[in-house]
Amino acid sequence: MQNDDLVASSARRLFADVADIQTVVAAKDTGWKDRLWAGIEETGLNVAALPEELGGAGLGLHDSLGVLRVAGQAALATPLAETLLAGWMLGAAGLEMPAGKIAFGPSSFSDDVTLHADGTVSGRVARLAFARECTHAALLAQGPDGLSVVLIALDGASIEPKSNLAYEPVDRVTFSKCRPVAPRRAPATFTADTALLMGAAARSLQIAGALEKMLALTTDYVMQRRAFERLISGFQSVQHSVAQLAGEVAVSVSAARSAADALEGLLKEGRGFDDPELRLEVISAKIRTAAAAQKGAAIAHQLHGAIGVTREHVLHRLTLRALAWRDDYGNESQWRERLGQLVCERGPEALWPLLATR
């Protein structure tokens, strides 16, 4: 817990100094991005999940993913989550991590990445976050001998720029017989859904962090805004809405943290990404935080009124990112379908023991 607090505090100070939301909103250029990434590399947040023997911080998944909750509070628009997860996956395969920003995938259920017998990689990733800003991509690829972790330089790929709801890159990337920098057989615990599950857990924590900040902003606002000669926090309907928002935040933080705990704990026990407990935790977190992002954003904007939807307002930046993150690494509907499949495949008798275990 002390290590968790130390890492989170370090990240919070960095983001406040270099990428404060209000400062970013008012910025005339994107120079803050370079300063932010320099700070991330200087503090080692980008290599938090990379094992120490490979040059990383070796913090473990719980502490590493906890940084992303802080990043969500800052509505951070940089591939920290992707680079952190790339370092974890490369480290799990025993591969060294290059410097710079690294994309991470597959990032949607429609992606198809193949490692050919000649060692080249072909395929398409439909929504690779921040691809145009990254030098490399760490991907899971299906090959003749099963799953492999591959590191590919993106200057040899075709990148079609696309943007999400928050105007951030989610580019379509096509690989055609690209030669990877380093391919390696994936660990036995990996499945085809590994990158999606890890990405879903990361986005859940980012959404939970953004919701926490929305609640803080909204609480402050209703305690200061006056209408009909009284603070609007005195109106019962406003109190009810704030309580609803607080409930969504509490559930989201709990679900996201529980998913991070499960990933670290269950993987340390030697369980794989096909483990029903692990899948239940991560899938549930993504579904619940995605639903909370929609409801929480609506409540926060309703209480702020028209001012909250302006580009100059901090709330606007937070809600756009929380809503955009819902679609990354599998959206709410896709994960609901897979959660249903998990329950049905195991049968009704196994449901309660599975729930009670967690």
Distance CA 39, CA 289 (A): 29
pTM, full prediction:
0.95
177: enclosing H helix or E strand: strand 170-178
Q: What is the mean pLDDT of each run of 10 residues along the chain (358 residues)?
A: 71 94 88 94 95 92 94 97 98 96 97 96 97 98 96 97 96 97 95 98 98 97 88 92 98 97 96 97 98 97 88 92 97 96 92 87
CA angle 161, 31, 307 (to 5 degrees): 80
Q: Which domains occur in the chain, in start order?
A: 2-185 (2.40.110.10), 194-357 (1.20.140.10)
**Cα distances (angstroms) measured from residue 19 to each of 44, 103, 315, 316, 352:** 17, 21, 15, 16, 45
What pLDDT is recorded for position 1? 41
Amino acid identity of residue 40, one-letter, is I
Distance CA 65, CA 49 (A): 8
Helix count (H) and strand count (E) of the chain?
11, 10
What pLDDT is recorded for position 312? 82
Which residues make beta-bridge pairs with 152? 137
What pLDDT is recorded for position 139? 98
DSSP string, 13-36: HHHHHH--HHHHHH-SSSHHHHHH
What pLDDT is recorded for position 2? 44
C-beta of residue 47 within 8 angstroms of C-beta of residue 63: no
